[in-house]
Structure 1
Amino acid sequence: MPSPSSPARAGFFAGQVAIVTGSESGIGRETARALCAAGAAVVLNGRNAERLEQTRLTLAAAGYAVASCVADVTDYAACELLIGTAIQHFGRLDVLVTNASISQRAYFADMQPEVFARVLDSNVYGSVYPLKAALPHLIRSRGSVTFISSISALNGMPSGSAYCAGKAAVANLAHTLRLELAETGLHFGVVHIGFTQNDPDKRVLDAAGQPVPIAHRPPRWQKSQAEVAAVIVHHIQKRKRRTVISFLGRIIVLVHNTLPRLGDWVVLTTIRRMRRFYE
């Protein structure tokens, strides 16, 4: 049995087809790579056609079965096209990983309403629409759905109101769908990722909706994208309900459930210290 920090056993997903949204770069790309290495055929997705094609070519050159679809997952018609790409190329669908999302670096009081809506839509409808379009195929295969959430959904984080709300929403959605569709055999899981190394050009939205660099995070707090991808694939393989990545994330769960006021104090104290250090 592979550990959560190691790739899924090679061949475990042989004969299965997966879609990973937001897989042109970052965690999504590495999750797609790990699923390919474990035997799956994978449909890649993103909005940047050039970057998406480069990722497809890289994985294809490694001998993996991959296809790609440029699609904005907050557009339902585009999601229908994405699911259609999987069926057209590979004839079935077994795994859906909803990874695509937009993050933010802005306080609620400063955010323009349309920016809040954009971040929230990317995290909520960016999961709802692909799943809605894929649902008949996933029920047919008794497949697996994994929503990529965040440890920030477990305990709110300053400067991340819309992102935290969206990530918490998909965690609750997974629970609801698990109950509604219990008789189908379909797996619904949530992975709460922690601080992860990002691509150098990773950007988030500021209060006015402009792309800005992600806030600095101490390297010792971060996992590599490959490490996170390995945990995600292990989660899918074991059909787990919830996986919280990182020791920090597990501490947040413990404190939030038992001593919520202490949890808030720790978050605020940490944020204030980091702000004083880097400003």
Structure 2
Amino acid sequence: MFDGVPIPATTASVAQPLRAGAPANPTGPFAGRVAIVTGSESGIGRETARLLCEQGAAVVLNGRNAERLEHTRAALAAASHSVASCVADVTDYVSCEELVNTAIEAFGRLDILVTNASISQRAYFADMQPDVFKQVMDSNVYGTVYPLKAALPHLIKAKGSVTFISSISALNGMPSGSAYCAGKAAVANLAHTLRLELAHTGIHFGVVHIGFTQNDPEKRVLAADGQPVPIAHRPPRWQKSQAEVAAIILKHIRRRRQRTVISALGRLIVLVHTYFPRLGDWVVLTTIRRMRHFYE
């Protein structure tokens, strides 16, 4: 997810200085592979990029905050990792073409795409401005579709891997997250469709449903009026670290899995939603009455 206030697409897609040297771990499981991780200037995306580098990949970083993106690039480069970066708004297709071109110009190929960038919300549907709903949906749906569309010819050539980062909230609706839940559910269905359409290409299409994760202190989501606000409180004992989530994402990519659901809570949601949907709804409705702050 993006960790700052959304900016217009017209200010995006400015290539940053590249460092296209040899990976620090040329014998790792991703040695010789080139990856793009969207939304990797911070948070889960940053840690996923870091771990890909540590396991031998060359990585193109992406984000919309040029200063934060450069800080991440410089930190990974200082650790002798092979990295490039591109400021790009993934809801703008031309920007996504520039992002993919950065990978090709810096490293000559593209093997892995992780579509991590997205905007979340903290607002009830009845209160949301229509343009805010659209902004959240665009970031999750077109922020997945556009990078993939731009990267597809190179991924076909490499018989590469595509991982859409979804959420456990896509498995069963979550109050105060209507647009986010809808967007994350859409990309999961998209992965299934593309797996069927493009089976002949050898590309891996997978989805990772992320659960509650520790966030950077500056992490913000959108309120009903589009203003950035802190995320809803989550008990620390329910949260995985960003590094733990990144390790699960890489395991998913290595094994070319179709779906990975992170956390016991996520697997419980799958079980209840599949076999006891009314029970699942009762639990959510009960928590709204008794723990409304959990969603707000």
Say which of 213, 223, 226 aligns to 2:243. 226
Root-mean-square deviation over aligned CA pairs? 1.4
The normalised TM-score by structure 1 is 0.95
Matches of 1:10 and 1:162, distance apart in 2: 42
Query: Deviation digits for residues 113-149 of structure 1, max 9, x if unmatched?
Result: 0000000000000000000000000000000000000
1:93 alignment partner in structure 2: 110
Aligned match of 1:243: 260
Contact 1:10–1:37 under 8 Å retained in 2: no
CA distance in structure 1 between the partners assigned to 2:294 and 2:102 by the alignment: 48
Query: What CA distance in whole angstroms lies between the structure 1 residues aligned with 2:93 and 2:101?
Result: 12
| Correspondent of 1:74 among 88, 91, 101 | 91
Asked if 1:202 is matched to 2:213, the reply is: no
Aligned-residue offset at 1:10: 6.6
Q: Tell whether 2:276 aligns with 1:264.
A: no
Any gaps of 5 or more consecutive residues in structure 2? 1-25
Pair 1:176-2:208 in alignment:
no
> Which residue does the alignment assign to 2:123?
106
Q: Is contact 2:288-2:295 (8 Å) kept?
A: no
- Correspondence for 1:5: none
TM-score under structure 2 length normalisation: 0.90
Find the partner of 1:135 among 152, 167, 172: 152
Moved over 4 A (4+): 276-279
In structure 1, give the amino acid aligned to 2:245. V
Change (3 A) 1:252 1:76: same
Q: Does 1:34 align with 2:63?
A: no
Q: 1:83 to 1:30 in 2, by over 3 A?
A: same
Asked if 1:120 corresponds to 2:101, the answer is no
Find the aligned partners of 1:114 and 1:278 in 2 and give their Cα distance: 21
* Matched positions, count: 271
Q: Is the alpha carbon distance of 1:271 and 1:61 closer, same or farther for their aligned partners in structure 2, counting shifts above 3 Å?
A: farther
1:161 pairs, out of 178, 185, 197, with 178
Which residue identity is paired with 2:103? Answer: A
1:264 deviates by 1.1
Give unpaired runs (5+ residues) of structure 1: 1-8
CA distance in 2, matches of 1:268, 1:230: 33
Structure 2 CA distance for aligned equivalents of residues 240 and 278 of structure 1: 31
